[in-house]
């Protein structure tokens, strides 16, 4: 039996991961899967839940919540625990892609975006860390981004929020390790989702949510620490991180 | 991501810009916005229509492929209610190990449910089960002027009949109820036998079709003289006992489009001779998995690229039973004389189960389908000669495969087109519809 708690459950990557968990369960001989899904918009959330039920989830319970409100996190996690009993996997997948230019004009907007993609995730992580430590087992998976590896002029608001989460993960992973809890930092590159619709991305580098979900679910089950998806992004980011600052600041990345 | 797409034949070469719909609730707003920007559009699924029936007149399509959710699954009765963009392959991954299979499947699992309805596709069991639309008793259709309309034989029966085989023109499918058939194994007990002429094929299918759920035949389209009309007849049924093996993904892929077609008269002759010789002269039985039986071409992803940048056209017609004896040999003679054609040339005897759809392609008769690498004289030359034979025999062409049918032929073959035009959503228009109703 696998009990999975998902935040941002209507995001394309989260939906694909949930389906992938069910596929794997079906292949490996009907390991029953229970989901508890949290998302902001009620209608997409209910449609996602019905889809997972039809695809073989034993139970799917849901909660509507705006995760930017971190005061609500403890109640959310408590309700999930009531439904699931114990938590085997947590997937944190909520987020937005801020309009960088708008953020530069309006620092208040930048802070709100930072809150959604950065501080709300950190707050949720810290709370979950306590709950999972009490449990003494389980895995927390967080979707960050390759954008967090280095600040780039085109999206450093988004990038810095993701970087904050990644750095938090690094420290928290070591803390949780002693408690028997695993934490994985998942860094996707370009994925063809509603979030990236309308962006002019290099086609050869864009993966589908189904492709990234395969690697993510595999990485979670294998307890990887940091996972670039698809794998070639590890190479690209290796090169980008190696660019010396005097040159980097002259590039329009 | 901005993305452009073509039809499966990559001809006519009008790249379509996609606007994706990710949630059912977004549909009205997306359609209205697209209408305000470009006028008319067209729903686009997984791009498996061959010609221009899936291309918008404005070259701006509304992609419903991301709508791939299941609303409900009744695994006791084999009834799925699904969103329009889910593919038959995705249904197979869920259904086969549970002992269910689509009641009708075309030769590729990459079609969406909405595409299967809009083209009212058929399969190897047409002689028993009719078309895909025969097994979709209800669906929800979004129309720009009426909103969401539930259609069935009793609710909005005209819209129901217009939409099955309606080429995506009556509105945008939002959900559909798809009925499955129970299976006790995923293997097929198959039967194979060569035939030396079309006469032999007609006799074989008259003898064996009634006894088997599935049947189809390959015909050697380059054979001439005494060998003309030779081919291989294949029939099968789900094995009564066996295992339920889930769908396997993957396989080979054609990684890029070569500058010219790899299918030419030499490669064709070589292949057809080898394929003919490989099959037994006498009746032979064997058990095979459902994938090689139903979806032999799905094993090679992007196989449409082998025809090069010019693309290809498929010619698929149906000849009424009474005329099949004479018209089929004529068609094959015209094709063999041209030296063109494809490895995969398919003959199939349709049954007489009527489709609920007004513009459904199958009719009691024999269908012939084959691909031709594209070149500029194609439509006027070879296709013109084939059209004349089909016309004289009272047959018709398949809109889902078409990029050349004349308006006269279309109106004569599909007399209910005016009823469909009357119910067409004014916000939707395809290049095909524009061409044949001009």
Question: Tell me, what DSSP letter sits at residue B379?
Answer: I
pLDDT, residue A30, reads: 60
- Residue B227: beta bridge partners? none
Q: Answer whether A120's CB lies under 8 Å from A70's CB.
A: yes
Contact between A47 and B97 using a beta-carbon 8 Å cutoff:
no
B73 and A200 in contact by Cβ < 8 A? Answer: no
Percentage with pLDDT > 90 across chain B: 82
Residues 60-79 of A with CB under 8 A from B: none
Interface touch B2/A198, C-beta < 8 Å? yes
Give the ipTM of the model, two decimals please. Answer: 0.93
Return the residue of B nearest to A48 by Cα: B69
Mean of pLDDT values over B107-114: 97
Active site residues of A: 158
Interface check for A23 against chain B (CB to CB < 8 A): the answer is yes
Q: Which whole number is the average pLDDT over B134-146?
A: 98
Q: pLDDT digit string (tens) for B58-69?
A: 999 999 999 999
State the pLDDT confidence band at B300, using cuts at 50, 70 and 90. confident
Per DSSP, the three-state class of B41 is strand
Q: Which residue of B has its CA nearest to A191?
A: B1
- Sketch out chain B's domains with CATH numbers: 187-402 (3.30.70.2520)
Does residue A39 have a pLDDT over 80? yes
CB atoms within 10 A of CB B256: 8
> When comparing pLDDT for A141 and B247, which is higher?
A141
Residues 6+ apart with CB under 8 A from A231: A215
Average pLDDT over residues B43-67: 98
Q: Do the chains contact at B72 and A199, CB–CB below 8 Å?
A: no
Q: Please state the φ and ψ torsions of residue B217, each to the nearest 5 degrees.
A: -140, 145
The whole-number pLDDT of residue A28 equals 72
Best mutation target, B2, B26, B69, B93, to test chain A (most A CBs within 10 A): B69
**At residue B256, does pLDDT exceed 90?**
no
Q: Is A9 within 8 Å of chain B by CB?
A: no
**What's the pLDDT tens digit per position in A213-249?**
999 999 999 999 999 999 999 999 999 999 999 999 9
Across A9-18, B268-277, B345-354, least confident range: B268-277
What is the pLDDT averaged over residues B136-165? 98
Query: Per the CB < 8 Å rule, is B69 touching A192?
Result: no
CA dihedral defined by A192, A197, A198, A199, rounded to 10 degrees?
A: -50
Cβ–Cβ of A47/B24 closer than 8 Å?
yes
A54 contacts in chain B (CB < 8 Å): 70-73, 80, 94
> What is the C-alpha separation between B182 and B95, in angstroms, rounded?
9
What pTM was estimated for this model as a whole?
Answer: 0.95
Q: Is the pLDDT of residue B1 over 60?
A: no
**Distance of alpha carbon B141 from alpha carbon B152, whole angstroms:** 11
- Whether the CB-CB separation of B416 and B358 falls below 8 Å is answered with yes
Q: Do residues A220 and A141 make contact, with C-beta atoms less than 8 angstroms apart? A: yes
- Nearest residue of chain A to residue B24 (CA atoms): A44
> Domains along chain A?
2-248 (3.40.50.720)
Q: Residue B357: what pLDDT?
A: 98
pLDDT value of residue B173: 98
- pLDDT of B379 above 80: no
Closest CA to A60 of A14, A115, A102, A109: A14
- Chain A, chain B: beta-carbon pairs less than 8 Å apart: 48
The reported pLDDT for the residue numbered A201 is: 87
* Cα separation of the two ends of chain B: 34
pLDDT of residue B2: 56
Mutate which: A57, A197, A201, vs B, most B CBs within 10 A: A197
What would the two tokens of residue A15 be? Answer: 């939906």
Nearest to B118 by CA among B362, B400, B402: B400
Tell me if B20 and A12 make a contact (CB, 8 A cut-off): no
Residue of A nearest to B93 (CA): A23
How much is the pLDDT for B374? 87
Contacting residues for A161 by C-beta, under 8 A, at least 6 apart: A113, A114, A116, A117, A118, A119, A148
Greatest distance between any 2 Cα atoms in chain B: 63
The Cα of A54 is separated from the nearest Cα of chain B by a number of Å equal to 5
Q: What residues form DSSP beta bridges with B19?
A: B62
* Percent of chain A's residues with pLDDT above 90: 92
Q: Does pLDDT of A36 surpass 60?
A: yes
Q: How far is CA B348 from the centre of its chain?
A: 13
Rg (CA), chain A: 18
Paired tokens of A168: 């938090």
Instruction: List phi, psi (to 5°) of B374.
Output: -80, 140
- Determine, for residues A192 and B1 on separate chains, whether the beta-carbon distance falls below 8 Å: yes
pLDDT digits over B405-438, tens only? 999 999 999 999 999 999 999 999 999 999 999 8
From B342, B357, B405, B410, select the one nearest B51 (Cα to Cα): B405
| Chain B contact set for A23 (CB, 8 A) | 93
Compute CA distances B168 → B83, B123, B316, whole Å: 15, 20, 20
Q: Which one is predicted more confidently, B438 or A21?
A: A21
- Give the pair of three-digit tokens for residue A180: 């028997």
Write out chain A in H/E/C secondary structure. CEEEEEECCCCHHHHHHHHHHHHHHHHCCCCCEEEEEEECCHHHHHHHHHHHHHCCCCEEEEEECCCCCHHHHHHHHHHHHHHHCCCCEEEECCCCCCCHHHHHHCHHHHHHHHHHHHHHHHHHHHHHHHHHHHHCCCEEEEECCHHHCCCCCCCHHHHHHHHHHHHHHHHHHHHHHHHCCEEEEEEECCECCHHHCCCCCCHHHCECHHHHHHHHHHHHHCCCCEEEECCHHHHHHHHHHHCCHHHHCCCCC
* Number of separate helices (H) and strands (E) present in chain B: 13, 20
């Amino acid at each position: 039996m696998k009990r999975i708690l998902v935040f941002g459950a209507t995001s394309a990557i989260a939906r694909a991961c949930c389906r992938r968990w069910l596929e794997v369960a079906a292949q490996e001989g009907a390991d029953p899967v229970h989901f508890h899904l949290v998302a902001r918009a009620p209608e997409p959330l209910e449609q996602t839940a019905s889809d997972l039920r039809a695809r073989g989830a034993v139970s799917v319970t849901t909660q509507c919540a705006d995760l930017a409100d971190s005061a609500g996190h403890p109640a959310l996690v408590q309700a999930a625990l009531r439904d699931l009993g114990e938590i085997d996997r947590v997937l944190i997948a909520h987020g937005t892609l801020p309009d960088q230019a708008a953020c530069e004009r309006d620092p208040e907007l930048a802070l709100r975006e930072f809150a959604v993609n950065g501080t709300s995730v950190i707050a949720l992580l810290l709370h979950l860390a306590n709950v999972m430590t009490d449990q003494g087992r389980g895995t927390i998976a967080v979707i960050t981004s390759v954008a967090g590896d280095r600040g780039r002029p085109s999206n450093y608001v988004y990038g810095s929020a993701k970087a904050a989460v990644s750095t938090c993960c690094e420290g928290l992973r070591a803390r949780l390790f002693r408690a028997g809890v695993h934490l994985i930092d998942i860094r996707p590159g370009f994925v063809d989702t509603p979030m990236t619709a309308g962006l002019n991305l290099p086609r050869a580098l864009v993966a589908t949510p189904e492709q990234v979900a395969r690697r993510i679910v595999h990485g979670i089950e294998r307890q990887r620490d940091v996972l670039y998806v698809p794998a070639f992004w590890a190479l690209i980011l290796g090169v980008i991180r190696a660019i010396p600052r005097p040159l980097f600041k002259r590039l329009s990345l | 991501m901005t993305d452009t797409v073509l039809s499966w034949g990559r001809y006519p070469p009008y790249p379509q810009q996609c606007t994706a719909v990710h949630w059912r609730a977004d549909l009205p707003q997306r359609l209205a916005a697209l209408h305000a920007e470009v006028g008319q559009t067209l729903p686009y699924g997984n791009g498996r229509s061959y010609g221009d029936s899936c291309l918008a007149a404005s070259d701006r399509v509304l992609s419903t492929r991301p709508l791939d959710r299941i609303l409900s699954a009744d695994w006791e009765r084999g009834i799925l209610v699904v969103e329009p963009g889910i593919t038959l392959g995705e249904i197979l991954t869920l259904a086969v190990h549970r002992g269910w299979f689509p009641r009708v499947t075309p030769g590729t699992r990459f079609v969406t449910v909405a595409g299967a309805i809009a083209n009212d596709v058929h399969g190897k069991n047409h002689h028993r089960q009719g078309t895909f639309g025969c097994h979709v008793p209800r669906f929800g259709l979004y129309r720009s002027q009426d909103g969401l309309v539930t259609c069935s034989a009793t609710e909005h029966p005209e819209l129901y009949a217009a939409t099955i085989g309606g080429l995506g023109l009556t509105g945008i499918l939002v959900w559909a109820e798809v009925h499955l058939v129970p299976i006790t194994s995923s293997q097929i007990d198959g039967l194979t036998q060569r035939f030396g002429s079309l006469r032999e094929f007609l006799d074989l299918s008259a003898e064996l079709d009634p006894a088997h759920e599935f049947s189809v035949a390959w015909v050697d389209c380059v054979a001439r003289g005494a060998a003309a009309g030779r081919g291989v007849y294949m029939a099968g049924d789900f094995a009564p006992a066996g295992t339920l093996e889930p769908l396997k993904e993957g396989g080979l892929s054609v990684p890029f489009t070569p500058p010219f077609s790899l299918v030419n008269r030499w490669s064709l002759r070589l292949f057809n001779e080898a394929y003919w010789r490989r099959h037994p002269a006498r009746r032979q039985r064997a058990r095979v998995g459902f994938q090689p039986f139903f979806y032999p071409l799905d094993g090679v992803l992007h196989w449409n690229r082998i025809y090069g940048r010019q693309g290809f056209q498929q010619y698929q017609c149906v000849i009424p039973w009474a005329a099949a004896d004479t018209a089929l040999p004529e068609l094959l003679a015209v094709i063999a004389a041209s030296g063109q054609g494809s490895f995969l040339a398919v003959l199939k005897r349709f049954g007489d189960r009527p489709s609920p759809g007004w513009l459904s392609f199958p009719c009691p008769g024999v269908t012939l389908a084959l691909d031709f690498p594209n070149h500029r004289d194609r439509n006027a030359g070879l296709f013109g000669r084939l059209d004349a034979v089909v016309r004289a025999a009272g047959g018709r062409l398949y809109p889902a495969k078409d990029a050349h049918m004349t308006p006269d032929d279309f109106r004569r073959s599909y007399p209910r087109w005016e009823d469909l035009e009357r119910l067409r959503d004014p916000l939707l228009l395809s290049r095909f519809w524009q061409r044949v109703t001009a």
